[in-house]
Structure 1
C-alpha cells in the first residue's frame, strides 16, 4: 500500500512538472520585452505570443489596471493594454488563468528611465552626420561574420554578400569619424535581417527587437551609444515603418490578416507618391501607392490597424529609451498611410519634445518635400500636418552632382540651380531642419559622377558645410571612394579600405592613407571641424546673389559673425567684383579663408582659381 501511495504521489508530481513546463513554454515572445516607468503616455500594449494563448484570461499584480485585452482571429496572440500611471520601476507578474485556475505566470519588468530622458537633445544644424553601412565599414569582431541561426553567411568575395562589418568596427573607429568633423552617426538598419541573400542592407528586418548577430548584440548597440556620448557624439537609428522582411517571424504566423497590406494577387507599389497629394488622383492609384509592397521580399505594414500602429510606436520608443538614442532617420516615409505616420511621429515627439526625426521623402520637387515637414503651410491647405520635424533635400542632392559638372552655364544650368533651389525655401516651415547631402547609400556616388575630380568634390563639400540645413556625408567619400550605381548597389557600398585585417590600404589612419586619399580627407576634416564652432553657418541668416558668369556668392550671418562664400564653377580663373555685395560686406575690410588662412581684400575684387570656392570669415 505504501509503495502504491508513493507511486501515485510520484505520478502526480510528474504530471505537475510536465504541466508546469508546458505552461512556461506557452509564451514564446513578449513584446516589448520590458518597458519603462514614468513615461508620459501611461498606456502600454504588451503582445504575448504562444500556442493558443488567447484561451487564457490575463491578470496582473500590484493592482495594475488592465485597460483592454484584445484577441484576433489567430489564437496564438493576446494583446494586453495596461495603465502604468504612477507605477514605479518594478517587476510585474502576469497571471494566465483557465477555468479560474492560474495555468502559468509571466514576469514583466518596468525599468527606471535615465535622468531627464524626455528632454534629450537631438541632432540639428550644428551637427554633421556621417552615414555608415555597417557591413561595409569596419570588421571589429571577425567571430560574428556568420551566425548559425541566420541563413546568409559571411562571404567578402561576394560583392552583394555579408562582408563582416559590425558595431565593434564602428566603436573602434569613433576617433577617426570624430577627427573628420562628424558629430553624429547614422547607421543603416542594424536589426536582424534574415533574407537568404543581400541581407547586409538591413531594410528587410526579421526581428525589430533584436540586433542582427552578425553586427553584434543589443548590448553592443547600447555600448556604441555610450561610447559616442563620451565623445560628445550623437547616434541616429535608421527606422523602417513601411515594411518588414519576408522572413519576419510574424509572416509565418500573422497576428491578423490585416497586420500586412494584402491584395488578391501580389501588388507592388508604383512608387508614384505624387498621388498622395494629387487632388485629382484616383483612389485606386492612391491605394496601390500606400498599400502596395515595396518589393516582393518586403511585406507592407498596415499602420491603419491600431495594433500595428501601437506596436511600431512602442518599438521606436523602446529603442530610444533602451539605447539612449539621439534621433531617427525613417526609411520610405511617405509610402505609408499619411494619417497613421503623422500619429506615429506625434506620439514620439510628445514623449521627447526635442527629438529629431528626418523622413526619406525621395521626391525632386520642393513643394512635395515641404508638404511633409511639420507645420507645413502646403499641408495645411488639406488640413494635414505630418508632425515630421525634418525631410531630406533630394532636390538639392541631384543638383549638386549635376551643377558642378556644368562648366558652361545656360539660363537654367550651372550654379543657377542652387540659387533657384534656395529661392524656393519659402515653402518650408523650417529650412534649418532639412537634411542636406550629395549622396547616400541609394544614390549615385558623388566622386564617380565627378570622375574623381578633387576640385569638384571640394566645391560640393563647401556647399554642404555652409548652406542652411544639416549636412550628411556618406562613408568613404572623404577619402575619394566612389562606385558606379549602374553596376548595382554593391558598387556604391564598397568596403572601407582598412576596415578589415589584412587590407593593404588602411585609410582609417593618417599613415595608411595614400597621398590622394589624404588630400580628400585633410580638406574635409579641416572644413567640417571649422564648421563645428561657427554659429553663422549653423543658424545664421542666408543672403545670396544671382549667379553671374557661373560664379555664386552668398552670406551666412548672425549679429556676431558673418561668413562670405564664393564659388567659381568655371574651368578658368574668374574675377568677382565686390561692389555688388556691399549690402552684406558692410564695413568689413577683409575676409580670411578658413582652409588656407589667406586674407582677401574686400574693397574691390576677388580673384578665384578655376573650379574653386572660398569660405571667408569677414574681419
Structure 2
C-alpha cells in the first residue's frame, strides 16, 4: 500500500511539472466580459479533463491538433477575487491540480482616463535612452549580449533608466511616455527594438522585471504623467515560445511557412483588388524573423485580446499605440479594439496606419463614414497623421511658395480634415523611430523650431521623438541604428550628459529651452487642445492660422520664406476681431497686430491675442 501511494505521489508530481505555462498567469474579478479563456500548456496535457472549484462554470474546452495545449474557458461573472483550483483528471482520477488566482481590480479601473489632445507623447526606445541598472545588461535567459559598439545591437538601456529621468521628460512639457515594446524579444540579433517578441507576458530581463514596469507606471502617475504601451497584434518573433510548438497550423499565416508581405494596405478596402494581392498584404510576413499572426483564429484572437487587457490591469496603463495596425485581419482587429473599448470606454489607442492619403487613413478611425461605405468600423480612436509628416519632412527646404510647394503643402493637408470622424484624435509628429531624424532633414535650429511650432499648435495629439529636443541627428540611409542613437548621458562615463543643464552644450541647450518652453505653454492651453482652427492660404510662403475657443484665441504665423516678411492683418479680421495686440509665447514680447506684423526669415510667432 505504501509503495502504491508513493507511486501515485511521484506520478502526480511528474504530470504536474508538465504544466510549463498558464496564460494569462492570473486574471481579475469583476470584468465586464466575464468569459475568460485560459491556456494550459504542457506535455500531452490534452489527454486530461479539467474541472474547477468554487462553483465556477466551464463554458468551453478547446483542444487543438497539438496535444500539448488545452484552452479552458470559464465564466467569472459574480465570482469574487479568490484562488481557484483546476483539477485535471485522467478518466475519473485527479492526476494533478493547478491553482489560478482572480485578483481585485483597482478602484475605477474601468473608467481610467487616457491620453488625448491635451497631452504630449514622448516616444523613446528604452535600450537607447538610459542605462539605469548596468547589472541587467545581459541575461542568462536571453541570447543577445550588450555591445554599444554595434549600431543594431543591445546597448543596455532599461526601465530604471526611464524612471531616473522622468523629471527630465516632464521638464520638456511631455505628459505621456510612449516606449517601444518592452516584452521579451529573444532574437539573436537586433532584439533591441522589441517588435519580435518571444514572450508577451514577460518584460525582457535586460529591461527589468514586470514589477519594474509597474513601478514605472506608478512613478509616472505620481507626477501626473501617463504611460502608453506599444502593442503588436500583427506578428511575434521567431523565438516566441508558442511559434516553436504551434497549437495549430493556422495560428500563424502559412504559405506554407514564410511569404513576404507586399505591404499594399490599400488592398484592405480596394473593391477592385484581387484576392491574392489582398492575401499577401494581410497574411504575408513583415520579415522572415516575424511570424505573422492569424487573428482570424478565434483562440488566437482571444489570446491577444486578453493579453492586452491583462497589461492594462496589471501595469495600470493609460493607453496603447498599436504597431502596423492596418496589416491585421481587419475584421479581427476591429473585434480586438472593440473588446478593449468595452472594458475601458475612455481608453485611447493610436494605430499605426502608414498610408499616403487622408481618405485611406480616415477609413481606419472609429466611426469613419468612409469605412461605413463598406460596413466597416475599426473602433480605433486615433490614427497617425502620416500625410502631415510627409509635408513636414520636405516643406521647410522649399523657400518659395508655389502652387504645390512651400507652406501650401501643410495648408492642403488640413483641407481634408473633414474626412476624419474625430480630428482631435489624430497623432501629429515630425518623425518617429522608423523615419529619418528631423534634425537630419534640417540641420538648422530655425527649421527645427518651425516644425515643432507646427506640431505643437495644430489639431491633434503631438508626439516628440527622444533626443530631438537636444538636436540629435541620425541618418536612416545608414540603417535604423543610426536614427536610434544612445541618449548622451544615459550611460556611466558618457562625456556629454544632456539630461541636466550643466552637462549640455550651448547648442543642446538652445534646442532644449525652445522645446521645453513651447510644450509647457501648450500644457495649459485649451484652445490649442480642443479649440477650432481657421487657416488662411499662404502668401509669400507665410502660413497663418488660428486656434480658438470661447475663452482664448491664438494666432500662429509661420514664415517659411528666407527673407523677412511684413504681413498685413486686415485679411484676418474674421479671427482677429477687436484684438489689438498679441503676447508672443517664446519671446514674451507684446506685438501690435492692428495693421501689420513683421516676421523674421524662417521663423514663427505664436501670439495669444488680447
What TM-score, normalized to structure 2?
A: 0.99
Q: What's 1:113 paired with?
A: 105
Residue from 354, 357, 375 that aligns with 2:346: 354
Equivalent residues in 2 for 1:371-410 (5 A)?
371-410=363-402
Instruction: Give the Cα–Cα distance (whole angstroms) in 2 for the partners of residues 281 and 134 of structure 1.
Output: 40
Equivalence for 2:438: 446
**CA displacement at 1:18 relative to structure 2:** 1.7
Instruction: Return the match for 2:12 from 12, 20, 23.
Output: 20
* Cα displacement (A) at 1:17: 3.4
CA drift at 1:493: 0.2
Matched, 1:472 2:473: no
The answer to whether structure 1 residue 487 and structure 2 residue 475 are counterparts is: no
Q: Contact 2:401/2:539 (CA < 8 Å) preserved in 1?
A: no
SS of residue paired to 2:12: helix
Which digits, 9 at most, give the CA deviation of each residue in 1:433-479, with x for residues without a partner?
000000000001100001x1000000001001100000000000000
Stretches of 4+ moved more than 4 A in 1?
A: none
- Alignment match of 2:334 (pick from 310, 317, 342): 342
Matches within 5 A, 1:81-100: 81-100=73-92
Shift of 1:265: 5.5
CA displacement at 1:259 relative to structure 2: 0.5
Equivalent residue for 2:604?
Answer: 613
Of 547, 567, 571, the match for 1:580: 571
- Provide the alpha-carbon RMSD of the alignment: 0.7
Could you say what secondary structure the match of 1:294 adopts? coil
Question: Aligned residue for 1:543?
Answer: 534
Equivalent residue for 1:509? 500
Secondary structure at the counterpart of residue 242 of structure 2: helix
Partner of 1:600: 591
Deviation at 1:23, TM superposition (A): 2.4
Secondary structure at the aligned position of 1:80 is classed as strand
Residues in 1 aligned to 2:591 and 2:114: alpha-carbon distance in whole angstroms = 37
2:450 aligned residue (437, 453, 459): 459
1:422 is displaced (CA, Å) by 0.2
Q: 1:292 aligns with which of 276, 279, 284?
A: 284
Instruction: Report what 2:21 is aligned to.
Output: 29
What are the residue-to-residue correspondences of 1:236-275 with 2, within 5 Å?
236-264=228-256, 266-275=258-267
Q: State the secondary structure of the residue aligned to 1:28.
A: strand
Match of 1:499 in 2: 490
User: Deviation at 1:19?
Assistant: 1.2
Displacement, 1:252? 1.2
2:323 to 326, 331, 335: 331
Is residue 283 of structure 1 aligned with residue 288 of structure 2? no
Give distance in 2, aligned partners of 1:438 and 1:569.
16
Deviation at 1:13, TM superposition (A): 4.7
Q: Does 1:57 align with 2:49?
A: yes
Q: Secondary structure at the match of 2:251?
A: coil
Answer yes or no: is the 8 Å Cα contact 2:488–2:496 preserved in 1.
yes
Structure 1 residue 20, shift from structure 2 partner: 2.7
Alignment-derived partner of residue 358 in structure 2: 366
SS at match of 2:434: coil
| 1:275 Cα offset (Å) | 1.1
Matched position secondary structure for 2:485: coil
Q: Distance in 1 between matches of 2:258 and 2:20?
A: 30
Equivalent residue, structure 2, for 1:206: 198
1:42-81 alignment, distance < 5 Å: 42-81=34-73
Question: Structure 1 residues 346, 265: closer, same or farther in 2, change over 3 A?
Answer: closer
User: Does the 8 Å contact 2:423/2:459 carry over to 1?
Assistant: yes
1: CA distance between counterparts of 2:540 and 2:79?
A: 67
Q: Distance in 2 between matches of 1:481 and 1:431?
A: 30
Cα contact 2:13–2:96 (8 A) shared by 1: no
Superposition deviation, residue 159 in structure 1: 1.1
User: Are positions 1:219 and 2:191 aligned together?
Assistant: no
SS of the residue aligned with 2:231? Answer: strand
- Tell me whether 1:164 sits opposite 2:148 in the alignment: no
Distance 2:401 2:524 in 1: 35
Q: Partner of 2:147 in structure 1? A: 155
CA–CA separation in structure 2 for the residues paired with 1:71 and 1:59: 15
SS in structure 2 at match of 1:409: coil
Unaligned stretches of 5+ in structure 2? none
TM-score normalized with structure 1 length: 0.98
Matches of 1:254 and 1:552 in 2, distance apart? Answer: 56
Q: Does residue 134 of structure 2 align to residue 142 of structure 1? A: yes
- Please give the alpha-carbon distance, in whole angstroms, between the structure 2 residues aligned to 1:60 and 1:538: 50
How many residue pairs match? The answer is: 610
Counterpart of 2:520 in structure 1 is 529
- Supply the distance in 2 between the matched residues of 1:99 and 1:465 (Cα, whole angstroms): 66
User: Cα–Cα, structure 1 residues 265 and 64, in superposed 2: closer, same or farther, change >3 Å?
Assistant: closer
Distance between the aligned counterparts of 2:9 and 2:132, measured in 1?
Answer: 45
Give, in angstroms, the shift of residue 264 of structure 1.
2.9
Cα distance in structure 2, aligned partners of 1:93 and 1:486: 56
Three-state SS of the structure 2 residue aligned to 1:59 is: strand
